[in-house]
Structure 1
């Protein structure tokens, strides 16, 4: 009774399949011997007798390992390996050359074209099995490391994204918004492009908190922020400026266009119904809009003018838009 090697057991536990090994040899006796030897170890062996057929099989079944003869009538093993390594989709598949050619030059050429090992014929079965196990294990370890690195990169990207976001509303936090705003302000100033800022405030927000509680107030803030975020262009940005105040950055947008957007947002929020445990809650917003002027030497000056426009909107009774 054959006993599975440790690597085969590990791979079957993690992938629910046996390792696939492509054996390429134009000598029927060698092909049969290698197929029987490897199949007895529970490997999934796919035998082929020609180089062109090997390339087709590699691209179709994506084996875990290739045992490759050098001397073949249609295409030698060196060329097969070179084509395999030139293709990004198959370049990582390990190739063990197995050949009657035993000169140093032949071995060096095999490694230079991408082989990971070289077994001389006549081969010893135990040596073949040992080298196959080693290179399958190395390939699996490489795949596991690459997968771990990809997951780490995704985790770092998620962490970086979270560091830029306001935890409550899901829009940019104040510090990251300032980074974006300074960058866009520099571009607009250098190339004389329009740039507009909007400051918006949820009207009478304290009354919402007092009447419904802070959890409902948080829900209203999220609803307002996300509604606005879905109404603006991908080139635009929204950030939470503080409390119930939000700020919009509108690159390549002049004052009339920004006022049109602000009015649309005002109407949309006024029609918004926020479904909460305390019932349906509605809110309105006041909006101040300011376009960059030549006298705005810093982004802070532009934001300050938008803020003053917001307070003008509040003085006019709220639920309105004022531009400067």
Structure 2
């Protein structure tokens, strides 16, 4: 005996008929097959029996006093607790109209009297099998819904964990790549970013500019105001440069000590000069007092600029060295101004690493924009 047959034989069946002989005959037929049988002599008793314990199947007579089988079916189908119980009408009415009416009211089958035992058992068995399969399908759907709910919950938890991990990684990356004092990029990130932008600029054949900014007489500032004030000054300068450099691809970094560097992708020398003028304006507007500065009552910057279209004969070190030489020239010319290096970049690397006797090589191509020197009252 398979599981399906075992489940149907244990089914609870309610027989509703006002004729005692019909009740006895149907009860005997079904009980002999292992079904659990309950009996009701009228519609009201049937409704009470269904409310007390819902049967798996109802055999329902139509012609009954006080409440017809049709009315009983309507009551059962209108109640959410009993609406899913399958109903087989069993009646002497054999007209098509009666059968169609029963089906429209919610009946699943129709047996005409006098009935044959084999027909009753076959129709009962079929409806119980269908009901059992429906129950299994509902159970499976409920289980799937529960599993889907659990899965969605697990996915949401995983996303929360991933987001927390992403934020933790971002914080860790910020610690690795950011300067702890000024919160701009540190030297390590600057070197990495410059290498990547150098390669990209070489591939795309576009200009790359590098700017070095140095706070004038910063030692005097620390000696005058103290190192805590000096740290605060570095933060203000970093913030001012960051505000002046507005494109997302541009990078501001602390180069070391009181020096800051700016990488300007896809920027020519003239474009870099405009950015530097903007930096000078922001620093001037900060009006950071520097009473012991030999050149101004406010803090100032000296700036060196270099730009080149990267090529295999050059390297990022050439670009840094060129901007460093421009910065040196700005300091030599009195500070509080910027200079731009226009000589071939390989000269800058030679000069950067050569003896003092060769340090002036190529400086005739260094242009100092002294006409832009700040004249602070």
TM-score normalised by structure 2 residue count? 0.50
Q: Which one of the candidate residues 206, 211, 216 is aligned to 1:203?
A: 216
| Alignment partner, residue 219 of structure 1 | 232
Q: Secondary structure at the match of 2:260?
A: strand
Q: Secondary structure at the match of 2:81?
A: helix
For the 8 Å contact 1:182–1:299, the answer to whether it is kept is yes
| Alignment partner, residue 279 of structure 2 | 265
Unpaired segments ≥5 residues, structure 2? 1-76, 84-105, 107-129, 291-296, 342-377
Bigger Cα Rg: 2
Does residue 1:286 correspond to 2:337, yes or no?
no
Does residue 1:183 correspond to 2:199, yes or no?
no
Cα pair distance change 1:285/1:30, threshold 3 Å: farther
**In 2: Cα distance, 1:315 partner to 1:296 partner:** 29
| Alignment partner, residue 133 of structure 2 | 102
Cα pair distance change 1:31/1:153, threshold 3 Å: farther
Q: What's the CA shift for 1:105?
A: 7.9
| Alignment partner, residue 324 of structure 2 | 307
Q: CA RMSD in A?
A: 3.5
- Equivalent runs, 1:16-165 vs 2, <5 Å: 28-30=79-81, 102=133, 106=137, 110=141, 114-116=144-146, 143-144=156-157, 146-165=159-178
Cα pair distance change 1:188/1:103, threshold 3 Å: same
| Alignment partner, residue 89 of structure 1 | none
Unpaired segments ≥5 residues, structure 1? 1-25, 33-72, 74-98, 118-134
**In 1: Cα distance, 2:231 partner to 2:167 partner:** 29
Compare 149-158 and 194-203 and name the one that shifted more: 149-158
Q: Which one of the candidate residues 224, 229, 251 is aligned to 2:265?
A: 251
Cα pair distance change 1:320/1:275, threshold 3 Å: closer
| Alignment partner, residue 63 of structure 2 | none
Cα pair distance change 1:196/1:138, threshold 3 Å: closer
Cα pair distance change 1:240/1:187, threshold 3 Å: same
> Deviation digits for residues 128-167 of structure 1, max 9, x if unmatched?
xxxxxxx988876764554344223222222212321000
**In 1: Cα distance, 2:82 partner to 2:183 partner:** 61
| Alignment partner, residue 40 of structure 1 | none
| Alignment partner, residue 251 of structure 2 | 237
**In 1: Cα distance, 2:239 partner to 2:157 partner:** 38
**In 2: Cα distance, 1:175 partner to 1:251 partner:** 18
Q: Which one of the candidate residues 298, 301, 310 is aligned to 2:315?
A: 298
Aligned residue pairs: how many? 212
TM-score normalised by structure 1 residue count? 0.57
> Deviation digits for residues 233-259 of structure 1, max 9, x if unmatched?
222101111000111000111001111
**In 2: Cα distance, 1:161 partner to 1:100 partner:** 63
For the 8 Å contact 1:270–1:285, the answer to whether it is kept is no
For the 8 Å contact 1:266–1:286, the answer to whether it is kept is no
